């Protein structure tokens, strides 16, 4: 599973995920400043699990029917609580990624929303 962290993901979350042996491409390192639509236009986006704090990806996928990644882990946690965010992401990864879904992660639990079907989304 290829993890792809948005620029807004706390650096300590990225480093902590890597410390568990996971490979994480971090946009801040690989393509800083790339706009969200351009991220979704990557040819390999369908193979990636996007980790983000940015609700704009949901708007692009659910309203504009842009191409979607394999899955999105959308964290709605406090940025300064990087350890809590890391723990929640790791727990979700252990449960197993649900492909073609946005998983919304909060301190109170998770919920999933299936990606729409459309020309670019299957």
Determine, yes or no, domain membership for 121.
no
The domain of 109 spans 2-114
Average pLDDT over residues 66-89: 94
- In the chain, where does DSSP find H-type helix? 11-19, 27-30, 36-40, 56-62, 82-95
pTM comes to: 0.92
How many structural domains are present in the chain?
1
Using CA atoms, how far apart are residues 51 and 36, in angstroms rounded to an integer?
13
Instruction: Collect all residues with Cβ–Cβ distance below 8 Å to 113 and sequence separation of at least 6.
Output: 58, 62, 101, 102, 104
**What CATH number is attached to the domain comprising 19?**
3.40.50
Determine, yes or no, domain membership for 12.
yes
**pLDDT tier at 83, thresholds 50, 70, 90:** very high
CB atoms within 10 A of CB 85: 24
Cα dist from 76 to 20, 70, 86, 89, 103, whole Å: 22, 20, 12, 11, 10
Q: What is the tens place of the pLDDT at every residue in 43-59?
A: 999 999 999 999 999 99
């Amino acid at each position: 599973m290829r993890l792809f962290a948005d620029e807004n993901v706390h650096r300590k979350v990225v480093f902590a995920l890597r410390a568990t042996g996971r490979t994480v491409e971090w946009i801040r390192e690989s393509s800083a400043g790339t706009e969200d639509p351009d991220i979704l236009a990557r040819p390999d986006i369908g193979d990636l699990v996007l980790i983000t704090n940015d609700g704009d990806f949901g708007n692009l996928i659910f309203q504009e029917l842009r191409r979607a990644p394999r899955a999105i882990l959308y964290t709605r946690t406090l940025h300064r609580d990087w350890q809590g965010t890391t723990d929640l992401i790791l727990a979700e990864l252990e449960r197993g990624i649900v492909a073609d879904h946005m998983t919304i992660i909060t301190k109170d639990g998770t919920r999933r929303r299936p990606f729409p079907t459309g020309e670019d989304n299957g």
